[in-house]
Structure 1
């Protein structure tokens, strides 16, 4: 068999970091971990090629080479996914699809020969067995959650590693919390399942052998879902590995805000090489937090929790949502004030949506408020249900909020707030690479000369040089992110 694995093109979003990537001459932020993991589960004697449309073009000759085209996609990839399937149908190439998009919306996707739904560790072997017998079915699905300690090492060698800003690995799947709007527990369950420390380190060693150096994104639903196992088994092993390899990798991951309650866990994560976390803040409105079941964010001072993470050594990015039933017109100012006070520079604000199959989706359907298909794009200002707030008021307030927090004045003010709290991890090298020097020269040109409002950039540069010289690289990185965010919100 000849298998072509195709990852669809991601539209411009917060997470694409498309404009930021230009500074470091990279094509995409992260590789398609799901697809290269699936590739490792296919028979070893099959030929495999990968086309990530975010880093290279998909040509007809690539499609015609293949016996099957495997597409792995998230909801945000819907338009690109449909175009790939259309091209395959036109050329007579069979299509196999999986991932969150297929799992939640396969009834709406035409032209696909076989759907491998849920987690591939269970459903892919079913398909392969039937394929060998010559009688594959169209849909394979399961309500079981696999033991991921048996998942093979992803085929990182299929990637053109130099085109990515970071690599991706996974330690766990699932989240103990069950927020109404979130599809994680539906897809991966509430009981976190983990790989072994040895298994995770095997993947790091594989990346090391391929010559990769840089950032690694640990793409867990909630990295701290099983704190005891982290402290007793995983982090001690990763700390030893990171020390032995002179902290060649720094790690980024997603956590819940209650990480701030555990000093030991924060300290161990920093010592292991973690220096950046994404936290779902959602909203400072306690009624809206209660509405969506975000219990871990209630009964705490969220700003204090964020600052505690920053002082521990974490760069904190935050997810924010407007459009809850309990949101009033005051929410836009409340969100603005919170974001500014917290010093969360990368504040990713989206409209509330109801992903297919979530508790929110079911509630909106029962209340007769559900609209069309979920786009998965947090930057297209779409909403798939009828909000309680007047729609025009919601859209106007959302747009004003984005343009306020990402105005140069307010963004750089947030960077100052962050720098005043942030404590750089001791292991972080002060050495500047050739790539960073080139990125800095581009930064000086675009933000210091070409872009309007350049005075804010120069003020940050000089303040950092004289007041926080050890945080200079971090400050300049955040300046690049700000440039990306200003550009990505232009159409909102």
Structure 2
């Protein structure tokens, strides 16, 4: 049996890091974790081929040489997924589609996709494999309950060309206990967090290490700290022990809620385990908009104090922000800018409010007749599938101005310096200097220091970091490169 796994291409987005990846000669930021995990359920005697379209082109012969095409995608990959499906239809090859896009929008693909795996696939794979063997595939595969991820196997790293990726990804938990109105995580993964065991996690880290990986690893969890007790008592101590035994081969980053700042022990353990970046949905400094969004975990915190504390424990905060709430006033754009600058949120992803299927916001606006189509999935484009209370033209104009202003070199490097002043540099993790790092450093000098609009700010920060905070110099170079990518995205809005 020949199975072709296809991961559609991403458009140029904030998180694609397209312009930054060129500095380190990589093709994609992250691998298709879902597909290589599902591949572990397929029989060993089957011939499995993966095509990640963010790294290589999908060839017609790949499709023709397959018996089935498995495709997984998120909303942001919709356009590419539609093209892939058409190619498969033209070649007469049956498609098995899963992942968030097809789970939330099966009706969109009713006439073009042959078989759907809706929701989590782990507990459906045995049935799916048997049906393929017997040539009796059903139209739909779905489970009413969320699966036990303690039985999820180690991903098939061997299907990847590791040299193509800027980072690897693994998963410890699924689900988030919070219920933000604009979020579809509760529909996709549930509000009751489910976790893997520490033994599982160490097996995955070891398998990744054995595959030859020695760089950053992204924990793709919806909220990594959803079960704080288990993390502190079991999981993080196990990771720390493994990292020490292997000379800290990995640095980690993940997503957390802002109440992370309330637990000093948890922050200390995550820092010692090798975590140095966390994404936090800060959303807005406006309390009325936070209440509207059911973002009560943010309302309970003094956001500025929480940010400063998390940074002081050694974490770079990547912040998510939203404009276009019903409660937003015309002054929100200035307030967002001032908040982001004041708190040194170097990587600030600002998007216009959208309503994904499965979210409470989607249900509310459907009743209010304020929806217009589906989300694009691109957090920093100028589209929204809602009819906002704020004038749409005013919203889009001021949104574009806000993003452009945030990523003007002076403003970006001001935030970078503010962050580095408060940043605690890891003492246990030595910067790994190889050809990739040397190449990126040289390219940064030429592209940012000689050619780029940011050359004045680049050199000022370059020498400030060398003289005032030399241990943070690698972080400064990395964030300067990221800033170049973000500026390019902002200029193309």
TM-score, with length taken from structure 1: 0.99
1:350 aligns to 2:351 (yes or no):
yes
Does residue 37 (structure 1) correspond to residue 37 (structure 2)? The answer is yes
The residue matched to 1:49 in structure 2 has which SS? strand
Q: Once the two structures are superposed, what CA deviation does each residue of 1:223-281 show, in whole Å capped at 9, x if it has no partner?
A: 00000111111011111001111111010100000010000000000111111110010
The answer for the alignment partner of 1:61 in structure 2 is 61
Aligned equivalent of 2:393: 392
Aligned to 2:282, what secondary structure does the other structure show? Answer: strand
Secondary structure, aligned partner of 2:15: coil
Contact 2:349 2:380 (8 Å CA) reproduced: no
Q: Deviations over 1:417-442 (max 9, x none)?
A: 00110001111214533321111100
Q: Residue in 1 aligned with 2:375?
A: 374
Q: Which residue of 2 aligns with 1:440?
A: 441
CA root-mean-square deviation: 1.0
* Structure 1 match to 2:337: 336
CA deviation digits over 1:335-365, x for unaligned, max 9? 0011001101010001110001211000000
In 1, are the aligned partners of 2:259 and 2:301 still within 8 Å (CA)? Answer: no
Looking at structure 2, the residues matched to 470 and 431 of structure 1 have their Cα atoms a distance apart, in angstroms, of: 13
The question of whether the paired residues in 2 share the 8 Å contact of 1:430 and 1:470 is answered with no
The answer for the alignment partner of 1:222 in structure 2 is: 223
Confirm or deny: 8 A CA contact 1:116 1:127 kept in the other structure.
Answer: no
Q: Do the aligned partners of 2:317 and 2:345 also contact (CA within 8 Å) in 1?
A: yes
Q: CA deviation at 1:44?
A: 2.2
**Match in the other structure for 1:452:** 453
Q: Deviation at 1:325?
A: 0.5
Return the alpha-carbon distance in structure 2 between the equivalents of residues 352 and 380 of structure 1: 11
Is the CA contact (8 Å cut-off) linking 1:63 and 1:69 kept in structure 2? yes
CA distance in 2, matches of 1:128, 1:71: 16
1:264-413 map, 5 Å: 264-413=265-414
The residue correspondences of 1:246-257 to structure 2 (distance < 5 A) are: 246-257=247-258
How many correspondences in the alignment? Answer: 492
Gaps of 5+ in 2: none
Residues 116 and 124 of structure 1 are in contact (CA less than 8 Å); yes or no, is this contact kept in structure 2? no
Deviation at 1:126, TM superposition (A): 3.3
Deviations 1:385-410 (A, max 9, x none): 10010101100110010001000010
Partner of 1:465: 466
> Larger deviation: 124-133 or 296-305?
124-133
Residue aligned with 1:175, SS: coil
Q: What secondary structure sits across from 2:192 in the alignment? A: coil
1:52 matches 2:52: yes
CA distance in 1, matches of 2:322, 2:361: 14
Question: Which has the larger displacement, 434-443 or 153-162?
Answer: 434-443
Alignment of 1:194-233 (within 5 A): 194-233=195-234
TM-score, length basis structure 2? 0.98
The answer to whether the 8 Å contact 2:86/2:112 transfers is yes
User: 1:460, 1:234 → 2: CA distance?
Assistant: 38
- Where do 5+ consecutive residues of structure 1 fail to align? none
CA contact (8 A) 1:29 1:166 kept: yes
Could you say what secondary structure the match of 1:489 adopts?
helix
Given that 1:174 and 1:188 are in contact with CA atoms closer than 8 Å, whether structure 2 keeps it comes out as yes
The alignment status of 1:7 with 2:3, answered yes or no, reads: no
Q: Which moved more, 1:102-111 or 1:258-267?
A: 102-111
Contact (CA 8 Å) 2:99, 2:119: kept in 1 or not? yes
In structure 2, what is the Cα distance between the partners aligned to 1:327 and 1:125?
Answer: 49
Alpha-carbon displacement from aligned partner over 1:124-149 (angstroms, at most 9, x marks no partner): 33333333443322122222111100
Q: Deviations over 1:73-103 (max 9, x none)?
A: 0000000000000000001111110000000
Are residues 1:91 and 2:91 paired? yes
Match of 2:71 in 1: 71
Per-residue CA deviation, residues 164-193 of structure 1 (Å, 9 max, x unaligned), is 011110000000111111111110001111
- Tell me the equivalent position of 1:115: 116
Contact 2:292/2:327 (<8 A) preserved:
yes
Change (3 A) 1:431 1:358: closer
CA–CA distance in 1 between the matches of 2:426 and 2:135?
A: 56
Native 8 Å contact 1:24 1:438 kept in 2? yes
Distance in 2 between residues matched to 1:353 and 1:400, nearest whole Å:
19
- 1:375 Cα shift? 1.2
Contact 2:174–2:221 at 8 Å: present in 1 too? yes
Q: Is the 8 A contact 1:30 1:165 kept in 2?
A: yes
State the secondary structure of the residue aligned to 1:71.
strand
Q: Which residue of 2 aligns with 1:172?
A: 173
- CA positional deviation for 1:222: 0.3
Comparing 426-435 with 201-210, greater Cα deviation is found at 426-435
Q: Residues of 2 paired with 1:336 and 1:161: CA distance?
A: 38
C-alpha separation in 1, matches of 2:2 and 2:211 = 24
Contact 1:280-1:319 at 8 Å conserved across structures: yes
